[in-house]
């Protein structure tokens, strides 16, 4: 656990402040859950709080309390910039490098506001004034829960906060099946349920609202786009921009697709390679000690956790796939030996 300046932060927040909360590009359940969880807690303490995301996120995450107040930087850059410039504190959640919030990173860097980092990813660059960081945490939502209690604000964990934080812990632990699901995680989750988080409703809201087009898209991917490399214990899926358009796939609707490739018997490494028009985005998953984050960092300008990482490529989809296959030849020993 790395902590910095929290007593100073407590003094600073002893009076109402203008606070912006932001999270990474293409926010997932942990990003939105932690952001809105902290938002709902700080609002109870009398602060003026605004959540700003770099861009949009899936409909399955838009039910949480406070969602209607979120500003998307890509959609409303002037409005978002004005909030950032007026902020006294900017809380950066679930990312550790300002490059992860795209163009908004430069606006945050130029802001006179103090910055707070709450995150569980490896190697934070240290741009922040206040730190609450732990790579051993299951999720940033778990860390927000710890942060609120550490600061003496545990009483703010009401139904709304608990529901948001439960969401991020649930999604980042793979519905409590990943190794990051420690005994402590279960204790935290039990408390969140005690505080009003409806676990059955939340799981249904996040996972059980799939449109027919998405189900047909998944069938297309499994039938036509899944490639299995037994000699590398690797499976991967490529998706073109045209395929996304043909099936009407929206933001967030490819979330979890890479896990299906990893679920294949005998596989230890999996990738999802998607042409997002501006960039080719990549998700990597692995089992055991296979370092997906090292693969992403070495070959695709990325990073993340050992078993869950992401990257990107400015090449075409076809050229990115070729580079991925080239990278696998150098990574093969890691996959087969670990």
Q: How far is it, in rounded angstroms, from Cα 103 to Cα 39?
A: 23
Domain positions in the chain are 2-207, 212-337
29: nearest Cα among 224, 193, 206? 206
Dist. CA 239–CA 217, nearest whole Å = 10
* Whole-number pLDDT of residue 209: 87
102-123 residue pLDDT tens: 999 999 999 999 999 999 998 7
| Signed CA dihedral, 188, 35, 19, 25: sign only | positive
pTM: 0.92
pLDDT in tens, 189-234: 999 999 999 999 999 999 998 999 999 999 999 999 999 999 999 9
Neighbouring residues of 278: CB distance < 8 A, sequence distance ≥ 6: none
Note whether 237 and 226 are within 8 A (CB): yes
Residue 122, pLDDT score? 85
SS (H, E, C) 69-98: HCEECCCCHHHHHHHHHHCCEEEEECCCCH
Q: Work out the mean pLDDT of the chain and round it to a whole number.
A: 96
**CATH 3.10.310.30 applies to domain 212-337:** yes
Whole-number Å distance between alpha carbons of 148 and 292: 31
Six-digit token string for 89: 């504190």
Q: Could you please state the CATH topology (level 3) that the domain comprising 2-207 is classified under.
A: inorganic pyrophosphatase (n-terminal core) (3.90.1640)
What are the average pLDDT values for consecutive 10-residue runs of the chain, which has 338 residues?
A: 96 97 95 98 98 95 98 98 98 94 95 97 87 96 98 98 98 93 98 98 94 96 98 98 96 92 97 94 95 95 91 96 97 88
């Amino acid at each position: 656990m790395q902590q910095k300046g929290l007593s100073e932060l407590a003094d600073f927040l002893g009076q109402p402040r203008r606070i912006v909360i932001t999270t990474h590009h293409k926010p997932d359940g942990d990003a939105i859950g932690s952001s809105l969880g902290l938002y709902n807690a700080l609002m109870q303490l009398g602060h003026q709080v605004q959540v700003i995301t770099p861009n949009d996120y899936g409909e399955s995450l838009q039910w949480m309390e406070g969602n209607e107040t979120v500003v998307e930087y890509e959609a409303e850059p002037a409005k978002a910039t004005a909030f950032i410039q007026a902020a006294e504190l900017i809380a950066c959640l679930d990312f550790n490098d300002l490059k992860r919030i795209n163009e908004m990173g430069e606006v945050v860097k130029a802001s006179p506001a103090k910055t707070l980092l709450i995150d569980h990813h490896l190697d934070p660059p240290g741009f922040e004034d206040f730190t609450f960081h732990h790579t051993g945490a299951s999720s940033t939502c778990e860390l927000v829960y710890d942060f609120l209690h550490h600061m003496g604000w545990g009483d703010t964990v009401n139904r709304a906060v608990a529901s948001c934080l439960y969401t991020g812990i649930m999604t980042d632990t793979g519905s409590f099946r990943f190794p990051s699901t420690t005994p402590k995680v279960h204790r935290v989750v039990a408390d969140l349920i005690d505080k009003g988080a409806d676990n059955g409703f939340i799981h249904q809201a996040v996972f059980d609202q799939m449109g027919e087009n998405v189900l047909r898209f998944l069938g297309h991917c499994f039938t036509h786009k899944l490639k299995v490399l037994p000699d590398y214990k690797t499976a991967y899926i490529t998706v073109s921009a045209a395929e996304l358009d043909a099936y009407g796939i929206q933001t967030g609707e490819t979330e979890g697709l890479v896990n299906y490739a990893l679920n294949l018997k005998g596989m230890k490494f999996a990738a999802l390679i998607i042409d997002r028009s501006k960039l080719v985005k990549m998700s990597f998953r692995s089992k055991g000690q296979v370092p997906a984050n090292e693969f992403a960092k070495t070959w695709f300008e990325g990073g993340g956790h050992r078993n869950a990482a992401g990257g990107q490529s400015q090449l075409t989809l076809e050229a990115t796939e070729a580079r991925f296959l080239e990278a696998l030849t150098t990574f093969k020993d890691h996959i087969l030996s670990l």
